[in-house]
Structure 1
Amino acid sequence: MTLLDGISARTIQTPRLRVGILERDGDNADATPENTVVFVHGNVSSSLFWQEPMLSLPTDLRAIAIDLRGFGASEHAPVDATRGVRDYSDDVFATLESLGIPTAHLVGWSMGGGVVLQYALDHPVLSLTLQSPVSPYGFGGTRRDGSRLTDDDAGVGAGGANLDFVERLRAGDTGDEAQTSPRSVFRSGYVAAGYTSEREDIWVESMLSTSTAEGNYPGDSVASENWPGFAAGSAGVLNTMAPKHFDVSGIVELDPKPPILWIHGDADAIVSDTSFYDLNYLGQLGVIPGWPGAEAAPAQEMVSQTRDVLDAYRAAGGQVVEVSLEGVGHSPHLEAPAQFRRSLLEAIGYTGRPSESAPPTEAIILLSED
């Protein structure tokens, strides 16, 4: 792994599996839970993506990033998608338990947002930071209210994966000649147009750590009588977010309710009300033929669904801060690092410096990198 100065890697044997983690050099291993921030990455990535925000945090905080199973340095154990993302959230719990951390501030990106929400349903947390999170109702196949479009989740899960992209992951392709190469997908999907970084090779390396073994990425699929002819299977990464397996909207009923920061970009190509990764939206655009129309196969309103659930969370007494970043894509921590850092420190109630204040109970903040 390519590590930035100040970051170290190690593996931990938990009762569930071997887990890779990144830590910041010099951090206090006996830090209180209130001073501990745990980062959870998303799909087709790893803990390597979190190095910059880890290094940016004040030195009196402890920063840890965890590799989910099948990514990074963690064991490539198969994923039981019928449990939603619980294999992942249970692995995170086992890791923190092995480190002697009873609770912490959790930060989840994309699929990792769903993982930390599931974690919060099962275990106490101090706060949740959701960066460009998967909808509380999963990825694809639902109406605005979260109801499923078909009984088998047609058009959802591993059957929608681009096979050439999977093969290029397997082959370790680092080039940018093909639109389906990991580097090209990073540039077109993970960040908004115009983003550049001298560390792009590290982000691509992180993507290439994704296991394509059976039971990992992307998973299996089954035939369907409904358009577009396949439905979600029972194993592997993409099926964990199928709505028949995944629904974390129950956070509205949590008691007590941890404060939540929702930070996202308005130019996100992946998690959006018009996502280019949603087959129903691609059908609407004519990219995939045979689309049966908006009544049978509407595009998933992912951002609106998240807002609806978080509005209900707030109405039920929870604290929610939304930060929407203009011109930012799927990766605010890379594209708008100053805003991400400031918002995160406010979300965890960091008081190490007078200039850092706690967030208001109700807020929608519109920011740009300026």
Structure 2
Amino acid sequence: MTLFTGITQRVVNTPGLSVGILEREGDAASADPTKTVVLIHDNIASSLFWMPLMLALPRELRVIAIDLRGFGATEHAPVDATRGVRDFSDDIRATLDALGIPTTHLVGWSLGAAVALQYALEHPTLSLTLESPVSPYGFGGTRRDGSRLTDDDAGTGAGAANPDFVQRITDRDESDEAPTSPRTVFRASYVADGYADDHEDVWVESMLSSSTATGNYPGDSVNSENWPGFAPGRIGVLNTLSPAHFNVSGIVALDEKPPILWVRGELDAIVSDASFFDVNHLGRLGIVPDWPGEDVAPAQPMVSQTRDVLQAYASSGGAVTEAVFEGVGHTPHLERPEEFRDALVAHISAVHASPATDPNPPTEAFIIKSED
């Protein structure tokens, strides 16, 4: 894989999986574990997406980016979607155990944020940074309160994946010849219109490292009597976020609540209250035919659901900050790298500061703050 100067890659052998990680040259393995930051990537991506941030973070931090199973340099083992994202979070724990890291600051991007939240439900965590996070109730198929629209979660999971996009990943298509080519999807969905940098080939390489083998992306689907005619199966990445299998709203009840930084782009096309990856929203727009209407198949209010859960988290004693970047899409750490870095560093620093210290993070907007 293409690595930036100053980044190294190795494989960590855990009891169940060989896991690829990126590290920064010069970071000490014996560094204070409370100053360790672990980065978890999104779906159809890998740890490569984190390289600019890794190089930009202060040297007093140890920075590690982990490839999830079926992505990057990690073994392409199948994913049991009936466990939600627990296969992924268990792999993170096993990797940290192998590295001798008892606790850490977790940064998760979209799917990675879902994994980070699941991890925090089960293991001590110093802080959470949720970038463009999937709703705490999964992806698609729920009302604002998290209740499921159908018993079989019709319209969610692997059946929503575009077959031509999947085939182009399998074929390692680097072109921009079609709307479904990974490069075109990156430009149209990962970042806001007009964004460009010199490393697009690396980001496409990262996307193409995704496994489309059985049990990885996207997974299996089954027929449904409910619109639009399919429901999630039991294996594969997209099915992990079906509301039947995934719900991390229980973070509100955690006794020890790690402080949360929620970072999102105002123009995110993937995670929003009107997501272009939500079949119900596409039905409302007439893109998917025969939509049964708002009462039966409303779009999932993803951002509103996240805000509701995080407001409840703050009300029950947790510290929550929301940073919204104007003109930014699904990937704030690429599109606004300095602002993202500053917000993250301030968030981590606040964990180690005295209660009287005001870190005053220089992000654009803070919408939710704990009264504590």
Q: TM-score interval w.r.t. the shorter chain?
A: over 0.9
**Structure 1 residue runs of 4+, over 3 Å off?**
350-353
The amino acid of 1:56's aligned partner reads A
Aligned residue for 1:182? 182
User: Secondary structure of the residue that 1:153 maps to in structure 2?
Assistant: coil
2:278 counterpart of 1:282: no
Aligned residue for 1:51? 51
Give unmatched runs, 5+ long, in structure 1.
none
Aligned residue for 2:3? 3
Q: Measure, in 2, the Cα distance between the counterparts of 1:259 and 1:357.
A: 13
Q: Measure, in 1, the Cα distance between the counterparts of 2:17 and 2:148.
A: 33
Aligned residue for 2:31? 31
Q: Measure, in 1, the Cα distance between the counterparts of 2:306 and 2:155.
A: 21
CA positional deviation for 1:352: 10
Structure 2 CA distance for partners of 1:90 and 1:352, relative to 1, 3 Å: closer
Structure 2 CA distance for partners of 1:315 and 1:43, relative to 1, 3 Å: same
The amino acid of 2:224's aligned partner reads S
Aligned residue for 1:154? 154
Q: Measure, in 2, the Cα distance between the counterparts of 1:53 and 1:321.
A: 20
Deviations along 1:42-87, whole A, 9 cap, x unmatched? Answer: 1000000000000000111100000000000000000000000000
Deviations along 1:324-361, whole A, 9 cap, x unmatched? Answer: 010100000000011100110111126999x992669x
2:69 counterpart of 1:65: no
Aligned residue for 1:131? 131
Aligned residue for 2:332? 332
Q: Measure, in 2, the Cα distance between the counterparts of 1:350 and 1:134.
A: 25
TM-score (norm 2): 0.95
2:84 counterpart of 1:95: no
Aligned residue for 2:20? 20
Deviations along 1:83-138, whole A, 9 cap, x unmatched? Answer: 00000000000000000000000000000000000000000000000000000000
The amino acid of 2:186's aligned partner reads F
User: Secondary structure of the residue that 2:129 maps to in structure 1?
Assistant: strand
Structure 2 CA distance for partners of 1:132 and 1:288, relative to 1, 3 Å: same
Judge conservation of contact 1:49–1:206 (CA < 8 Å) in 2.
yes
Structure 2 CA distance for partners of 1:100 and 1:210, relative to 1, 3 Å: same
Aligned residue runs from structure 1 range 90-239, under 5 A: 90-239=90-239
User: Secondary structure of the residue that 2:366 maps to in structure 1?
Assistant: strand
Q: Measure, in 2, the Cα distance between the counterparts of 1:240 and 1:34.
A: 30
2:348 counterpart of 1:364: no
CA positional deviation for 1:365: 5.0
Give unmatched runs, 5+ long, in structure 2.
none
Aligned residue for 1:266? 266
Judge conservation of contact 1:257–1:318 (CA < 8 Å) in 2.
yes
Judge conservation of contact 2:342–2:361 (CA < 8 Å) in 1.
no
User: Secondary structure of the residue that 1:364 maps to in structure 2?
Assistant: coil
Q: Measure, in 1, the Cα distance between the counterparts of 2:327 and 2:27.
A: 34
Judge conservation of contact 1:349–1:358 (CA < 8 Å) in 2.
no
The CA RMSD measured in Å over matched residues stands at: 1.7
Aligned residue for 2:240? 240
CA positional deviation for 1:145: 0.4
The amino acid of 2:333's aligned partner reads H
Structure 2 CA distance for partners of 1:95 and 1:356, relative to 1, 3 Å: farther
Percent of residue pairs identical: 67
Aligned residue for 1:78? 78
Q: Measure, in 2, the Cα distance between the counterparts of 1:97 and 1:283.
A: 45
Deviations along 1:173-203, whole A, 9 cap, x unmatched? Answer: 0000111000000000100001001000000
User: Secondary structure of the residue that 1:55 maps to in structure 2?
Assistant: helix
Q: Measure, in 1, the Cα distance between the counterparts of 2:351 and 2:38.
A: 18
Q: Measure, in 2, the Cα distance between the counterparts of 1:364 and 1:221.
A: 40
TM-score (norm 1): 0.96
